[in-house]
Amino acid sequence: MDTVLTLDHVSKIYHNGRGARNITFSVERGQVVGLLGPNGSGKTTIMKSITGLSQPTEGTITVFGAPVTDREKALMQVGALIEQPALYENLTAQDHLRMAARYYPGVDQARMDKVLEIVGLTPYRKERCGKFSLGMKQRMGLALALLSEPELMILDEPTNGLDIEATVEMREVILRLAKEKGVTFLVASHLAAEIEKMCDKVLVLYEGEMLSFDTKEEALRLNPSLEDYFLAKVRDKKGSVVL
């Protein structure tokens, strides 16, 4: 299998001492990898480092064989939705897609219409994003991430702000793209059940450290659920201190 993403001893420490330390893992094409950890465990830090939004303190990141510092090459096949989508309040959904499309040759109006349809925002294409609800902004962020038909999607809490129906739809979109088009996903969430429903592999993060990186089957071999798996890993780390 092709390796899409490699993190080699990556650390990113912020001034307050938080961040992520010594993270090493790689992701193969078509996999759906879940980053599982509580708030402040370093999930977003890792994702920001992969997308070049922040620079690692140590270590190297390669995306499709190119170092992430080579932004034009590394980010060409990457779609990302990190934290809240970055949307201009005074611009419409269509404006955002047009601006993003300028960076990707081959993205035409039909593709823009298609991604709006996928995320269910076609009726709102001419509305300003400042008027969007949190869930609509999240969908818009996903539309922007999908626009260039990326081979690697990095999604940070993708169901944040979505209702139950939209959450299920989002999950189905991820699984369908992974299965039918071989798109690789790196999905971060603090909800073990969400990760369990869509991921092939799970990476557990806790207080900036990587506790494990197993396939879902391995994780569930000795544990009834990913939630139990996560708690077991945290207990191991803490020396069997009850949470």
Partner 1 sequence: MERFLASLSNELFKLRKRKKYLVFLIIGAVICVASALRVLIVNYITDGGVSREAILGGLMSSNLPFILLIFLPLMAVMAASDLFVGEQVDHTLRFSLMRPVGKGKLFFSKAAAVFLLCAFDLAVLYVVSTVAQVGLGGGTEGILTSLGACLLDLIPLAVLVLFFCLINQLVRGSSLTVLLCVVLYIGLLVMGTYLPAVGGLVFTGYLRWHNLWIGIALPFFSLLPRIGLLAGYGLVFGCCGYLLFDRKEA
Query: For the chain, how many helices (H) and strands (E)?
Result: 9, 10
| Length of the chain in terms of residues written | 243
**3-state SS, one letter per residue, for 41-101:** CCHHHHHHHHCCCCCCCEEEEEECCEECCCHHHHCCCEEEECCCCCCCCCCEHHHHHHHHH
Alpha-carbon 9 to chain mean position: 20
Is there binding between residue 103 and partner 1 (CB under 8 A)?
Answer: yes
Beta bridge partners, 203, equal: 35, 213
Q: Stretches 15-23, 31-39, 98-106, 158-166: which one binds partner 1 (CB under 8 A)?
A: 98-106
| Residue from 20, 32, 75, 93 in contact with partner 1 (CB under 8 A) | 75
Pair 6, 34: CB distance under 8 Å:
no
Cα–Cα distance measured from residue 3 to residue 40, given in angstroms and rounded to the nearest whole number: 28
Kindly tell me which of 75 and 219 has the beta carbon lying closer to partner 1. 75
| Dihedral, 150, 152, 156, 159 alpha carbons, nearest 10 | 60
Is there binding between residue 53 and partner 1 (CB under 8 A)?
Answer: yes
Q: Stretches 22-30, 69-77, 169-177, 205-213: which one binds partner 1 (CB under 8 A)?
A: 69-77
| Residue from 31, 44, 51, 138 in contact with partner 1 (CB under 8 A) | 51
Backbone angles phi, psi at 124, to 5 degrees: -110, 15
Closest distance between partner 1 and the C-beta of residue 10, in Å? 15
Q: Stretches 3-11, 33-41, 67-75, 202-210: which one binds partner 1 (CB under 8 A)?
A: 67-75
| Residue from 38, 99, 131, 133 in contact with partner 1 (CB under 8 A) | 99
Tokens read off for 54: 């922040």
Is there binding between residue 134 and partner 1 (CB under 8 A)?
Answer: no
| Residue from 18, 26, 40, 73 in contact with partner 1 (CB under 8 A) | 73
Is there binding between residue 13 and partner 1 (CB under 8 A)?
Answer: no
The DSSP bridge pattern shows strands 3-13 and 19-28 to be antiparallel
Kindly tell me which of 76 and 191 has the beta carbon lying closer to partner 1. 76
Is there binding between residue 52 and partner 1 (CB under 8 A)?
Answer: yes
Count CB-CB contacts under 10 A for residue 242. Answer: 6
| Residue from 5, 74, 143, 205 in contact with partner 1 (CB under 8 A) | 74
Give the binding site for partner 1 (CB under 8 A): 48, 51-55, 71-76, 78, 80, 82-84, 86-91, 95-96, 98-100, 102-105, 144
